[in-house]
Amino acid sequence: MSLVSVVYRDEEGAWRKALLDAADYIECQGWSQGGGDSRGGPVCMVGAITTVCVYSKPYTRAIDELKRMLNAHLMEWNNQPGRTKDEVISALRRCAHDVTD
C-alpha cells in the first residue's frame, strides 16, 4: 500500500473504501495505542483513517459510522487495555461491510 494519502471523492461508498484502506494500512504499517501516529509507521485507528483519507466528507462519514457501530469514543475504544490489532482491523472492515446506509 502506498503511504501517500488518497483524496476520496465525496461519492456514495467512499467512506467504506476509506475504512478498508485504513485496515490495510494498519496491517502493513502496524497499530499503536496512546499515540504514535507517525507518518509511515504504526498508527491508531483514527490515525489510520486520517493517513489514508485526509480530512474530507468520506473521512467524516467513516469516523461517524465507526463511532455509531462501536457505540464508543474511538480513541478510548482503540486504547482500551487488552485491545488487539486484529480487533481494530476487524472493526474497520466490519463497519465497511456491515453498516447499512
Task: Going residue by residue through the chain, which has 101 residues, state the pLDDT in tens, using 9 for 90 and above.
Answer: 444 445 555 567 888 989 999 999 999 999 999 775 556 789 999 999 988 887 677 888 899 999 999 999 999 999 999 999 999 999 999 999 987 76
Give the dihedral of Cα atoms 83, 84, 90, 95; nearest 10 deg. 30
CB half-sphere exposure, 88, CA atoms < 13 A: 31
pLDDT value at position 51? 85
Contact 53, 6 (CB under 8 A): yes
Cβ atoms < 10 Å from Cβ of 86: 11
Q: How far apart are CA 24 and CA 66, in angstroms?
A: 16
pLDDT value at position 76? 95
- Beta-bridged to residue 31, according to DSSP, are 43
